Amino acid sequence: MKTEKLFILVTLSVVCHTLNAQTNFTFTDLNGRTYSNANVRSQNPASILISWGSGGLARVDFTNLPTDIQTMLNYDPTNAAAFRKQQDDAEKAKAAAYEAAAPLRKAAQEEQARFNRVKATEHDVIGQVFQVTKDGALVNLYAGIDDATAQRIMAQPPIGVYDGPKTLVFLVGYNSPMVENEWLRLKTYPIGNYTYDAMSGTTKTILKITPNFQTALQYEIDQETLGGGFGSGAN
């Protein structure tokens, strides 16, 4: 403990300390600027911090001080050079660390941009299950339903019958078992298209959606890997 205290005291006295003795003096630096009523607030081996005049504050490098002021403040060129090297090395290490972290920053920015893109596709939808399959369900989505109508539809059992404009989509990633004619109200995200064989014998392609945000994020990642980008229409 005594050794640690001694180390701290020595460090503070050499690197950065307050000099109460050097107060109210006037000097002109080597650039010709005069500081009147100067008071040394603190110093390190390479420079001093002074208050001067009527409220001015300045940091002056020892190499810009006249010789008598350097002597008064115990300036040591060797210590100053070592201090500057230490500062330079620290700045270089900081710059190197910042550069090394560039891939991480880029990845974080891309991740945030991907999150925002997927979030922007979120839609609050109301639909009725048309047909359940092993992979999901064909669902008729209804547009333009106000809250009052939505509440009547979502009541158990539904109150009245709604027969507005509808769009057939394929829903995947729903956490609960679905049954035909069940009404659903969900926040969903588009994740490409779904192709199926209709009862008429024709092949149809419709929008595929999911209520699972993580599934939508993974879809976006997969599309980036394939070079397609969000909403490229992959099955």
User: Domain with 222 in it: what CATH number?
Assistant: 2.40.50
Can you give the residue range of the structural domain that contains 176? 120-226
In a domain, 25, yes or no: yes
| Inter-residue contact 114 to 221 (CB < 8 Å) | yes
Q: What is the mean pLDDT of each run of 10 residues along the chain (235 residues)?
A: 44 42 85 94 95 92 96 96 96 96 96 96 93 94 85 76 86 93 93 91 95 96 79 49
Contacts of residue 231, defined as CB under 8 A and 6 or more positions apart, other chains included, come to: 121, 190, 192, 223
115 found inside a domain = no
Query: 158, exposed or middle or buried, with CB in 10 Å at 0-12, 13-18, 19+?
Result: middle
Domain total in the chain: 2
Strand order in the sheet with 34-44: 25-28, 34-44, 47-52, 56-61
In this structure, the answer to whether residues 62 and 130 fall within a common structural domain is no
pLDDT at res. 18: 42
Number of residues that make up the chain: 235
- Among 42, 66, 88, the domain boundary falls at 88
Query: pLDDT at position 163, please?
Result: 76
200 is a domain residue: yes
Specify whether 147 is located in the same domain as 79: no
Per-residue pLDDT, 9 = 40
66 and 24 inside one domain: yes
In a domain, 100, yes or no: no
Give yes or no: residues 129 and 67 share one domain: no
Do 124 and 222 reside in the same domain of the chain? yes
pLDDT at site 7:
40
Measured CA to CA, the distance from residue 62 to residue 74 in angstroms comes to 10
Shared domain check, 213 and 131: yes
Please indicate, yes or no, whether residues 220 and 129 belong to a single structural domain of this protein.
yes
Q: Which residue bears the tokens 């330079």?
A: 88
Q: Are residues 69 and 139 in the same domain?
A: no
Residues 186, 173 contacting (CB under 8 angstroms): no
Residue 69 makes CB contacts below 8 A (sequence gap 6+) with 25, 27
pTM: 0.62
Asked whether residue 96 is assigned to any structural domain, the reply reads no
